[in-house]
Amino acid sequence: MSDVVPFSPETTAAIARARQHTLGDLLHRTARRYPDKLAVVAGERRATFAEFDEAVNRCANSLGSRGLAKGDRLALLSHNSWEFAVLAFATARLGVVLVPVNFMLNAEEIGFILSHSGAKGLVTEDALAVTAEKALAVAGLTGGVRGWIALGGTAASGDWEDVGTWITDGAPDAPQVAVADDDPLRLMYTSGTESRPKGVMLSSKSLTSQYVSCIVDGGMTADDVEVHSLPMYHCAQLDCFFSVDVYLGATSVILPGADAATILATIEAEKVTKLFCPPTVWISLLRHPDFDTRDLSSLRKGYYGAAAMPVEVLRELQGRLPEVRLWNFYGQTEMSPLATILRPEEQLPMAGSAGRASLNVETLVVDDDDNPVPVGEVGEIVHRSPHAALGYYNDEDRTAAAFRNGWFHSGDLGVIDDNGYLAVVDRKKDMIKTGGENVASREVEEALYLLDGVAEVAVFGISHPHWIEAVTAVVVAKPGVELTREQVDAHAREKLAGYKRPKYVVFADALPKNPSGKILKKDLRVEHGNLAAEGS
């Protein structure tokens, strides 16, 4: 239709606004469909979709009146809360890029994210305020918008404002901001093999296409009642589950953390039908004494990810919760994050598998030249999908490498069988997934190298019954130096977030290497793979 005369700019803009279907629009449309339906339960707060939608408008307008505008970045350092839920949609409605920050990071790590993202504001909670102040100092940020979520009742002070007033005092009408499908709305920092995390840019197109895949292949419906206990700073809880529930009109019960007793009590009290947990949390639920005393009969759908579910645990879950259908979600932040799904009927026959590509995803396994490998051979897992991120913020080189030849390269190694099922067999870049969190071995190594007396160090993951993988370090001391486990632990506490610190430290005279000098971590995993079983 090359002969079509272009419309005027005014008409073109009007058409674009009429067709807009971005993250900020989803809640509003759900509120039109189900205004009086329960949307969010968070502590004592119970908000309908109409109330949630109004809270988002008021918060967005408050942010705008404080100088935040489309394209600006707002960092959020908080446990799960009502305010977190509101900010996730208020920023999107204003076109502001939300930067959720892992609250387990230390001040130096958070400061890097604030600086790298160019954040023009920070929202934190009272329990994290001291760390937040230190992080702002590390980043050299003295101005900007500062918000305080008073989860513990602490009054706002100094440069901080109570976020509660943003939600109640802002104008109630929706801000009129034109947001395009591929305008970035989230900047998610994810660990890689580099010593610093990368900022993954996600757009409405990335997210909403991923929501559709979750809904269709994950069996999600508007009558779901779901507990959200895993951190919402992570895109698995935020974007595979919470935001999908908002899109559908399902009810979300937000908990501040994944405490087993609280989850079990909440399932009973709220008649919860749907629950996502990594295998470590499912294990903690099964082992808790309340598991057999709470009424869990409402639960119908269970989801896991971040690691494969041990077969014995899978069997136990199906035996003790026979009415619950299970799904395994595999992916990563750069895929918003879903890539493949193992469905309920496939759980035991294909135990350990990551399943097959989800609705809007094409997945291959390729060699180092990006040629598809034969069925049954190991290669790198790559994807094509609108789920895929826009790239890494301010990082042309890593973006070009990740998206070379028009495929997103996951960095994971896998095998696809003749029925299209994917098995993840290793992490190409030595990523450790411990308790549902990503830990880059190189980041831990570089931190340990800062300890006086360390000559060499290799960090890797070993199998663990609770953490699935445990961070393990083999340390070689410099000649004439004696290092102790206590010294390594103390140093790690200063330099690393808790989940990144080695759970096992082994001292050795040398590290195994190949002729080119590369450390053979595969040999170390074999040699030290029984540390958890031995109780070392």
**What tokens appear for 394 in the block?**
């301010």
Question: Nearest-CA neighbor of 256 among 85, 37, 92?
Answer: 85
The helix (H) or strand (E) run that includes residue 362 is: strand 362-366
Q: In whole angstroms, give the CA distance from residue 230 to residue 186.
A: 18
Compute CA distances 382 → 46, 306, 331, 417, whole Å.
42, 17, 11, 15
Q: How far apart are CA 244 and CA 236, in angstroms?
A: 11
Residues of the chain with confidence (pLDDT) below 50: 192-194, 515-516
Structure tokens at 359: 């609705």
Paired sense of beta strands 379-384 and 408-416, if any = antiparallel
Each residue's pLDDT tens digit, 488-501: 999 999 999 999 99
pLDDT digits (tens, 9 = 90+) for 289-343: 999 999 999 999 999 997 778 788 898 999 999 999 999 999 999 999 999 999 9
How far is Cα 329 from Cα 530, in angstroms, rounded to an integer?
28
- Dihedral Cα 274, 277, 280, 285, nearest 10 deg: -30
Q: What sign for the dihedral angle of Cα 28, 32, 34, 35?
A: positive
Q: List the domains of the chain with CATH numbers.
A: 49-179 (3.40.50.980), 431-534 (3.30.300.30)
pLDDT score of 192: 47
Separation of alpha carbons 260 and 264, rounded Å: 6
Q: Which of these, 367, 365, 346, lies nearest to 355 by C-alpha position?
A: 346
**What pLDDT is attached to residue 514?**
59
| Helices and strands: H and E segment counts in the chain | 18, 26
- Residue 80 CA to residue 151 CA, distance in Å, equals 10
